[in-house]
Amino acid sequence: MKVELRNLTKIFPSRNKKSGEEVIAVNDFTFTIPDGKLIGLLGPSGCGKSTTLYMISGLQKPTSGQIFFGEDDVTELSAENRGIGLVFQNYALYPHMTVKQNILFPLQNLKGADKLPKAEMLQRAYEAAKLVQIDELMDRKPGELSGGQQQRVAIARALVKMPKVLLLDEPLSNLDARLRLQTREEIRRIQKETGITTIFVTHDQEEAMSISDMIVVMKLGVVQQTGRPQEVYDDPTNLFVAKFLGTPPINVFAGEVKSEKLYIGGVAVLDVPGVEDREVTVGIRPEGFVPDANGPLVCKLNSVEVMGRDVSVVSTHASSLNPIVRSIVNSDYRISSEETVRYSLKSHKVFLFDRRDETRIRF
């Protein structure tokens, strides 16, 4: 099912009545989520991504704007009638019920024509459990399960009624690092198998990039950029998006453009055709540095961290806006000097941003 958000806005009234300041959690969000895709809503905490998810679920009402499921306007429809599946951050499994009872619960709520015979309910519960590989644990209580298992039960409970849309709120945040990797692949697999349009919320860019068909990057309630993960990474629209995506993070320098050349620390490092003379903020991806004995960018070497296939070079530069400059270079390269390291730059890994409003300046 296609999900369409039109000018979705959510304003929370101020807690402090005297100041009367409202909080705009989500501001004019317009986006169409194609049928059967996995979408990651990404942003730092407080950016409105969870609010957006809860508005899609119907648990929160938008202040203005519309939500469409397919061709149907569901904006005024309550959560009960939207037919969505929702996996809560803390899973919200009913602690007094067994896994089986938890998964059966949504089916037992079906009324009228949708009502299922007992045998079929049980069969569907077992199918859902098999899909997330917890069919061995059906008689346990949630308290007797690990975080990863609870998470699967929550997904099974959300899937069992065959929702039109599956929503996941920070689904991996309660899992340890190893389980997180495993479970995100699992979510991807389940989503592919069922073909259900899935929207998940995360603050972890790596998580979003690795499994999403599309990502939506948000900041302070405003959508910054949407697109396929690689596109957004390779072509950020502003400094925030560039900084938010990528590990290790992008290196940021103060720079200046003079006669179509980019200067960092008074040295011309790159040709930037078509950019008029101005002061800029320069973002360089760690993989954008090429060690070069005659390279223009000279950094003071701090340390070299060998990571097997790649080498991470930590250095400093006077014009860097971060404390360190981190580059990822091929391990074939040997650092010769012990004091400095010289780089030339890959121009498609270098982004220029307006010094003031931080928007992208393309070249």
Partner 1 sequence: MVESKHKWKAWLYLSPAIVLLLIFTVWPIINTIRMSLLVDYSTIKETGGYAFDFGIKNFVRVLNYPKFLNCLKNTLLLCVLTVPLSTILALLIAVCLNAIKPLQRFLQTVFFLPYVTNSIAIGMVFSAMFNIIGNNIGSSTQLITTAGIINNIIGVFGVDPINWINAGSSYWANITVLVVYIVWDALPFKILVLLGGLQSINRQYYDAAKVDSTPRSRVFTKITVPLLSPMIAYVVITAFIGGFKEYSSIVGIFGDGMGPAGDKGRLNTMVGFIYDSLAASQEGLASAAALILFAIIFVVTMINLYVSKKKTHY
SS3 content of the chain, % helix, strand, coil (to 5): 30, 35, 35
Question: Which one, 161 or 342, has the nearer CB to partner 1?
Answer: 161
Tokens 């938010």 belong to residue: 244
Which window, 82-90, 144-152, 205-213, 325-333, contacts partner 1 (CB under 8 A)? Answer: 82-90
Residues 6+ apart with CB under 8 A from 335: 291, 301, 304, 313, 341
Of 174, 169, 166, 173, the closest CA to residue 192 belongs to 166
Give start and end residues of each alpha helix (H) in the chain.
49-57, 99-108, 118-131, 147-159, 177-194, 205-211, 229-234, 239-244
Residue of 49, 124, 157, 360 that binds partner 1 (CB under 8 A): 157
Residue 316 in the binding site for partner 1 (CB under 8 A): no
Closest separation in Å from C-beta 170 to partner 1: 13
d(CA 88, CA 291): 47
Residue 115 in the binding site for partner 1 (CB under 8 A): no
Closest separation in Å from C-beta 53 to partner 1: 12
Question: Which one, 56 or 275, has the nearer CB to partner 1?
Answer: 56
Contact 187, 211 (CB under 8 A): yes
Interface with partner 1 in residues 48-67 (CB under 8 A): 57-59
Closest separation in Å from C-beta 109 to partner 1: 5
Tokens representing 357 are 């409003």
Closest separation in Å from C-beta 105 to partner 1: 6
d(CA 244, CA 40): 14
Closest separation in Å from C-beta 40 to partner 1: 21
Question: Which one, 109 or 336, has the nearer CB to partner 1?
Answer: 109
Residue of 81, 133, 146, 330 that binds partner 1 (CB under 8 A): 81
Residue 161 in the binding site for partner 1 (CB under 8 A): yes
Of 90, 80, 62, the closest CA to residue 163 belongs to 80
Residue of 15, 17, 71, 80 that binds partner 1 (CB under 8 A): 80
Residue of 106, 221, 229, 291 that binds partner 1 (CB under 8 A): 106
- # chain residues binding partner 1, by CB under 8 A: 25
Residues 6+ apart with CB under 8 A from 115: none
Tally: H helices and E strands in the chain: 8, 21
Interface ranges with partner 1 (CB under 8 A): 57-59, 78-82, 84-86, 88, 90, 92, 94-96, 105-106, 108-111, 157, 161
